[in-house]
């Protein structure tokens, strides 16, 4: 059944790509375009954001947005504060790197900790880092760096950098393989891995490789290429993540301790431009198969399970932004398998970098542009 679904999906993708992409529309035109078919409208909350990367909701209704060039912005009552938040560490904005993800501690109301990922120079060059701080007005205070990638490089891509807290309070960090695919199979190298820490940066004693000589004890899983989406399943509490493949082979995976996710030994993608195979094929014993994959690639970024009440027909769906096709992907799941894919907002908003479900039950998107926008999806009759 799954193989048949994948074949039908590839045929559908071919048919879709054979038609021209819709022109770009302003937020005011979205309602009549989508009211009849999908029952939602898209409203711009704020523009003027320079390559925004991630969004976090504060308990008092304000929102924080990271801008990749190295600024943290505050949005209050739909207005972007012209003054960036101060107190960030030194950030290297190069290529795909800069100020990236941001999340709140699960007990933020009591402890006030904000966690954010960014790129900075260290041993060997640029690498992913994670710090935490407390917000006081428009200033970050009590800054603590919790994680530093152990080996950097001078390439400007594949930083990964999504952050997530699970139900037990562990912090997960995705780290890309920095464009050097061999590094993803090395357990002494943070590149191409998912990191798991306590909220204060300590290494959990039950991490899978903590007792393995020469392995980096922070590593929870490995064999990743460039994971830019991570979300917690609202019913099971499982950690899901997706990542960029090469040409084809973007993957949706379920995270397991100690698992090898295969890159670059196995992949459904091929070499850019020339189309030759990579590694040893698509399967190998001891390496995980994706729950779902995309050929051609959609360039996924951002991901959120929808568990709100404002869109009851979407409850339980998984939403993923697509940078390449400039759209929003909605996946329907049944017992951990993808049974349907729907593509929304094709060519309307641009490159969708982040996807979040708000505390109000609405869906929020960030567009990756020099004049990026924060957009909210609402029921058409709101």
List the catalytic residues.
Answer: 158
126-163: string of b/e by CB count within 10 Å (b at 16+)?
A: bbbbbbbbbbeeeebeeeeebbbbbbbbebbebbbbbb
Q: By C-alpha distance, which of 47, 103, 117 is closest to 75?
A: 47
Peptide bond into 241 cis (omega under 30): no
Instruction: For residue 247, give the DSSP letter.
Output: B
Residue 317 is encoded by which pair of tokens?
């769906």
CB-based contacts of 185, cutoff 8 Å, min separation 6: 192, 222, 223, 260, 263, 264, 265
Strands 352-357 and 363-367: antiparallel
Which of helix, strand or coil describes residue 296? coil
CB-based contacts of 275, cutoff 8 Å, min separation 6: 247
């Amino acid at each position: 059944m799954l193989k048949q679904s994948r074949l039908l999906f590839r045929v559908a993708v071919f048919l879709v790509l054979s038609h021209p992409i819709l022109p770009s529309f302003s937020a005011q035109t979205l309602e009549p375009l989508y009211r009849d078919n999908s029952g939602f409208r898209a409203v711009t909350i704020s523009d003027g954001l320079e390559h925004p990367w991630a969004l976090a909701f504060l308990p008092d209704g304000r929102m924080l947005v990271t801008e990749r060039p190295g600024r943290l912005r505050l949005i209050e009552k739909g207005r972007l504060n012209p003054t960036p938040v101060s107190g960030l560490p030194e950030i290297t904005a190069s290529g795909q790197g800069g100020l990236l993800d941001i999340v709140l501690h699960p007990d933020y109301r009591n402890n006030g900790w904000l966690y954010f990922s960014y790129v900075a120079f260290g041993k060997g060059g640029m690498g992913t880092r994670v710090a935490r701080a407390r917000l006081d007005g428009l200033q970050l205070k009590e800054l603590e760096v919790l994680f530093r990638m152990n080996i950097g490089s001078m390439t400007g891509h594949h930083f990964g950098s999504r952050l997530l807290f699970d139900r037990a309070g562990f912090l997960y960090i995705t780290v890309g393989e920095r464009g050097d695919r061999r590094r993803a199979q090395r357990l002494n190298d943070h590149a191409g891995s998912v990191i798991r820490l306590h909220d204060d940066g300590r290494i959990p004693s039950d991490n899978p490789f903590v007792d393995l000589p020469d392995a980096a004890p922070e590593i929870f899983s490995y064999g990743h290429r460039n994971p830019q989406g991570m979300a917690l399943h609202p019913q099971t509490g499982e950690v899901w993540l997706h990542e960029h493949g090469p040409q084809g082979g973007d993957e949706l995976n379920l995270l397991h301790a100690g698992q090898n996710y295969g890159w670059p030994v196995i992949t459904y993608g091929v070499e850019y431009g020339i189309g030759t195979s990579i590694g040893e094929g698509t399967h190998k014993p001891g390496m995980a198969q994706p729950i779902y994959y995309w050929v051609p690639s959609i360039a996924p970024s951002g991901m959120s399970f929808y568990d709100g009440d404002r869109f009851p027909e979407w409850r339980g769906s998984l939403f993923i932004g697509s940078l390449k096709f400039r759209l929003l992907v909605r996946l329907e799941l049944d017992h951990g398998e993808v049974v349907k894919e729907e593509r929304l907002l094709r060519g309307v908003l641009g490159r969708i970098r982040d996807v979040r479900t708000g505390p109000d039950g609405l869906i929020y998107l960030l567009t990756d542009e020099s004049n990026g926008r924060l957009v909210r999806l609402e029921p058409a009759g709101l």
